[in-house]
Structure 1
Amino acid sequence: MTEIDNYIKERKSRSTEFEEKYNEYSKRLDVAVAVRQLRDSLHMTQREFAEVVGKPQSTIGRIETGRFNVSWDVLNDIAQSTDTKLEIKYVKK
Structure 2
Amino acid sequence: MTNSNTIKFSDYLENEKRNDPALTKMMEKEEQKLDYAVAVMELRTSLGFTQEEFAKAVNKPQSTIARIENGNANPTIKTLEQIADSVGKQLTFSFV
TM range, smaller chain: 0.7 to 0.9
Q: CA deviation at 1:4?
A: 4.5
Match among 50, 53, 61 for residue 58 of structure 2? 53
- State the match for 2:69 in structure 1: 64
Q: How many residues align?
A: 89
Report the 3-state secondary structure (helix = DSSP H, G, I; strand = E; otherwise coil) of the residue aligned with 2:88. coil
2:33 alignment partner AA: R
TM-score for the superposition, normalised by structure 2: 0.85
TM-score for the superposition, normalised by structure 1: 0.88
Measured at CA, do residues 12 and 64 of structure 1 come closer, stay the same or move farther in structure 2, by a change above 3 Å? Answer: same
Give structure 1 stretches of 5+ with no counterpart.
Answer: none
Match among 9, 15, 18 for residue 20 of structure 2? 15
Aligned partners of 1:39, 1:86: CA distance in 2, in Å?
14
- State the match for 2:4 in structure 1: none
- State the match for 2:91 in structure 1: 86
Rg comparison, structure with higher value = 2
Q: CA deviation at 1:14?
A: 1.4
Aligned partners of 2:21, 2:94: CA distance in 1, in Å?
26
Q: CA deviation at 1:90?
A: 4.4
Coordinate RMSD, CA, aligned: 1.4
Match among 29, 46, 52 for residue 24 of structure 1? 29
Q: Once the two structures are aligned, what percentage of the paired residues are identical?
A: 39
Deviations 1:56-90 (A, max 9, x none): 00000000011101001100000100101111134
